[in-house]
Chains A and B, each alone.
Chain A
Amino acid sequence: MAMITADPKDVPNVEHFAFTPDYLAKAKALMANYPPGRQASAVIGVLDLAQRQQGWLPRVAMDEVAKLLDMAPIRVYEIATFYTMFQLKPRGKYLLQVCTTTPCWLRGSEAVMKACQHAADGETFSVQEVECLGGCVNAPVVQINDDFYEDLDEASINKVLDAFRRGETPKPGPQIDRQTSAPVGGATTLRSE
């Protein structure tokens, strides 16, 4: 019987959070998209900015967002806990979101998952099982921070992870010889001039 709780208790205590001028400007730009008095509509975007700055969302960051948008803090907590994309616990530098929904699973996401779990140390990599990422044509798919790495198998994911370890950024997209989601091995139709 799993204990349900949205509020993680075992997170490091962060005393202070403030937007850097850079991020603050971006947040202000988001808020400007909405009429005056409706700035709360920007909450998801501003929370995302806070997460990008901090790496995850400590409570002080949510409080800061609430203050910036003139909302009750609880309204921000509600949103941050609703969306799985908001990380309420610290995570590694690279978040590996492994899709395990049916198409990816049929194409071997289990092996990819195993490789990712093996790599996850909490500092460089953290791993998260996610539902369909919408890249079924290129299954199996792993989202690493903002980019999709596609058409993976055990060997290619390890190659990608190794590159990240070395501090490089491997090229996102299909990891086999394929142009985006075009047929593997080249075009099958419209081949003639």
Chain B
Amino acid sequence: MPIVKIDGVEMEVPAGITVLQACELAGIEIPRFCYHERLSIAGNCRMCLVEIKPGPPKPQASCALPVADKQEIFTQTPMVQKARKGVMEFLLINHPLDCPICDQGGECDLQDQAMGYGFDRSRFHENKRAVPDKELGPLVKTSMNRCIHCTRCIRFATEVAGVEELGATGRGESMEVTTYVEHALSTELAGNLVDLCPVGALTSKPYAFEARSWELSKTESVDVMDALGSNIRIDTRGAQVMRVLPRLNDEVNEEWISDKTRHAIDGLRHQRLDRPYVRRSGKLVEATWDEAFGAIEAKLKGLDGAKVAAIVGDQCDAESMVALKDLMAALGSPNVDCRQDGAKLEAGARGGYIFNAGVHGIDSADAILLIGSDPRRESPVLNARLRKRHLSGHCVIATIGPVADLTYPAERLGAGPASLRDLADGKLGFFEKLKTAKHPLIVVGMGALARADGGAVLALARELAEKVNAVRADWNGFAILHTAAARVAGLDLGLVPGEGGRDVEGILDSCEKREIELVYLLAADEIDTTRLGKAFVIYQGHHGDAGAHRADVILPGAAYTEKPGIYVNTEGRVQVGQRAGYPPGEARQDWAVLRALSERLGKTLPYDTLEQVRARLVEVNSSFALLDRQAAGTWGQFGKRGAVSDSPFVSPIANFYMTCPISRASQTMAECTASRRQLMAAE
């Protein structure tokens, strides 16, 4: 490894890194605009200049210069200072002095670095250039006069998002960052452009002029919009969530989040359930907690446990799910299900329902098969990871399922279970590729499992994984890609029908047949509520969506930003989200609502504090004790061998932007939906 001397201190650094990275290792911060560790190197902002010996007697751009043995690097010499000041002066020549009205103000790289390298007055007496603003869709607001041409946005769109739509036209003073043909960017990751922009040229449109960064309180949390469990930071002002930003986690979301994660939050302000409601003579009327609990107590009196059922929604925290499980057990009901979409997953062997390889495992996979999944819609950030794997080369990707533009080439082996059967029997050429691969990865989506023959498809996928030796001691390439943030925790906790119990389909059937008389919906909105028949429906949740409309009693709960909660992502990684604010009005944390209800029903749940609930989680499944890490999944004989139908796999997500009560209530997501529709129509 080369030995270099940085500002007089000798150190050994890994070979092949750049001078800028070596300086970072030495703890020296090099100012930069265009360099970004997750993008290719452009070397065009010239802010990272350092002095190098041996070398030409002029400053060098450290971001694009590889370290060499016996190199001497100087980062603080007068020559370096003068050079950086010169670069800064050139950058500021055309940069408007509108920081007071710029949304980037307070968190702007240019502003910060101008404090260190800026000149206190301008020597430029010409006019600044003026550039027309661009239309980049409903999420990204542009102010192109501020652009310093670092090209980070262009590289992000091209490399990470996989949509080659942004570019730099013209040259010299006429250079512009643009799509050229004014249209919204067709990516689900557009919000990240705003984070990447080191100046205020690209800012968040929904957040425009809403708040200043220093007046927000920051809370670390976990996203529930998809099953990836992206690490997020929730910025709030008072009770209102102002914005959501990504947190760095290389094993999960790197530093990207999807547009839904970032921008669905305005849905938290609309259609909220802020007090209990009880249906009286066909109409929902406001009630007190006491009245609401009274109505439930009256209905439950003398009701056999078998006539009670519970369905768990897709965004519930583990605490509320375990409380519901315990309550249903106390009521003697075996009819509990957390698989709203009817996915034929089993609560048994953990390896059968998690993304065993881990999201970071994608980086080492060399043959990838997607079964019944469109990851671009189901988890755009995970899809970006797949694209990254494709770009790094020596990886073959194939799909069985819907035709989709995944942003990377994938061989389509077929549409449905028949092709999977052929593949598992070794009749397709891709079988050999999987078999000879060192790290084969088989991703099974909900499109393949949430159907009548889902169990047989699951068994088939397991058979394939075992045949190609994807499940070994050192590598488990069998991966379930969930669409619901609550699903893995639900299965971990065993929220599936007990002995003689009914699943979601069975519950709805029985409701129609009046065999089940009371249904408890824990934030479950993605079911066909018309099939609930004459059953007495209790809806506990945070939004007035499908479930609440059908409910006979509404118990207002908290959204994910308003309660501390444990979520288990598709990898089986247990993550804790902190509370960023309080639920509106009389709404309460969900586990506490269930605890209070249990007391009223005379079946008091044995926990009074959050710590006790969490202790109960660990008691039910010890994997909850492992925070932020992925507990290995046990392997088993999951799936049900059987006949498969001919119908093709269909991705469960038709519209990426609206998949949950929060995103359906969001104005921004509605705009995104309209914009995407327009874009599709234009093509």
Residues of A within 8 A of B (CB): 1-7, 59, 72-75, 77-78, 81-82
In contact, A77 and B180 (Cβ under 8 angstroms)? yes
**Distance to closest chain B CB from A82 (angstroms):** 5
In contact, B176 and A5 (Cβ under 8 angstroms)? yes
In contact, A4 and B128 (Cβ under 8 angstroms)? no
The winner among A1, A3, A4, A82 for most chain B CB atoms within 10 A is: A4
Among residues of A, the one whose C-beta sits closest to the C-beta of B129 is A4
Q: What are the interface flags for B152-185 relative to A under an 8 Å C-beta threshold, 1 for contact and 0 otherwise? A: 0000001000001111111101111011110000
Give Cα distance in the complex from A82 to B180, angstroms. 13
In contact, A73 and B181 (Cβ under 8 angstroms)? yes
Among residues of A, the one whose C-beta sits closest to the C-beta of B168 is A78
In contact, A82 and B170 (Cβ under 8 angstroms)? yes
Contact of B173 among A1, A4, A59 (CB under 8 A): A4
**Distance to closest chain A CB from B19 (angstroms):** 29
Among residues of B, the one whose C-beta sits closest to the C-beta of A72 is B164
Among residues of A, the one whose C-beta sits closest to the C-beta of B182 is A7
Contact of B180 among A1, A4, A7 (CB under 8 A): A7
In contact, A4 and B176 (Cβ under 8 angstroms)? yes
Give Cα distance in the complex from A59 to B171, angstroms. 18
Give Cα distance in the complex from A133 to B178, angstroms. 31
The winner among A1, A74, A75 for most chain B CB atoms within 10 A is: A74
Which chain A positions have C-beta within 8 A of B127?
A: 1
Give Cα distance in the complex from A82 to B169, angstroms. 6
B55 interface residue (CB < 8 Å to A): no
In contact, B131 and A78 (Cβ under 8 angstroms)? no
Known: A6-B176, A7-B178, A73-B181. A78 touches B129 (CB 8 A): no
Give Cα distance in the complex from A103 to B170, angstroms. 27
Which chain A positions have C-beta within 8 A of B54?
A: none
Contact of B167 among A2, A5, A75 (CB under 8 A): A75
Which chain B positions have C-beta within 8 A of A72?
A: 158, 164-165
Known: A77-B167, A82-B171. A1 touches B128 (CB 8 A): yes
Which chain B positions have C-beta within 8 A of A6?
A: 169-170, 174-176, 178, 180
In contact, B176 and A77 (Cβ under 8 angstroms)? no
In contact, A81 and B181 (Cβ under 8 angstroms)? no
Among residues of B, the one whose C-beta sits closest to the C-beta of A77 is B180
B100 interface residue (CB < 8 Å to A): no
Which chain B positions have C-beta within 8 A of A3?
A: 130-132
In contact, A4 and B174 (Cβ under 8 angstroms)? yes
Known: A2-B129, A3-B132, A4-B130. A78 touches B176 (CB 8 A): no
Which chain B positions have C-beta within 8 A of A81?
A: 169-171, 180
Give Cα distance in the complex from A59 to B179, angstroms. 13
In contact, B128 and A74 (Cβ under 8 angstroms)? no
Among residues of B, the one whose C-beta sits closest to the C-beta of A80 is B169
* A-B contact list, 14 entries, CB within 8 Å: A1-B127, A1-B129, A4-B131, A4-B170, A4-B173, A4-B174, A5-B131, A5-B170, A6-B174, A6-B176, A72-B158, A73-B180, A74-B167, A78-B167
**Distance to closest chain A CB from B173 (angstroms):** 7
In contact, B164 and A74 (Cβ under 8 angstroms)? yes
Give Cα distance in the complex from A95 to B483, angstroms. 60
Which chain A positions have C-beta within 8 A of B169?
A: 6-7, 77-78, 81-82
Given contacts A4-B176, A6-B174, A81-B171, 20 further A-B contacts (CB under 8 A): A1-B127, A1-B130, A2-B129, A2-B130, A3-B130, A4-B130, A4-B131, A5-B131, A5-B132, A6-B169, A6-B175, A59-B181, A72-B165, A73-B180, A74-B164, A74-B179, A77-B181, A78-B167, A81-B170, A82-B171
Which chain A positions have C-beta within 8 A of B158?
A: 72
Among residues of A, the one whose C-beta sits closest to the C-beta of B180 is A77
The 10 closest A-B pairs by CB, nearest first: A72-B164, A6-B170, A6-B169, A74-B167, A81-B169, A1-B127, A77-B180, A78-B167, A82-B171, A81-B170
Which chain A positions have C-beta within 8 A of B166?
A: 74
Among residues of B, the one whose C-beta sits closest to the C-beta of A66 is B164
Give Cα distance in the complex from A152 to B2, angstroms. 62
Give Cα distance in the complex from A78 to B181, angstroms. 12
Give Cα distance in the complex from A164 to B128, angstroms. 42
**Distance to closest chain A CB from B473 (angstroms):** 39
Which chain A positions have C-beta within 8 A of B170?
A: 4-6, 81-82
Q: What are the interface flags for B282-295 relative to A under an 8 Å C-beta threshold, 1 for contact and 0 otherwise? A: 00000000000000
**Distance to closest chain A CB from B168 (angstroms):** 6
Among residues of A, the one whose C-beta sits closest to the C-beta of B158 is A72
**Distance to closest chain B CB from A163 (angstroms):** 35
Give Cα distance in the complex from A1 to B129, angstroms. 7
**Distance to closest chain A CB from B352 (angstroms):** 41
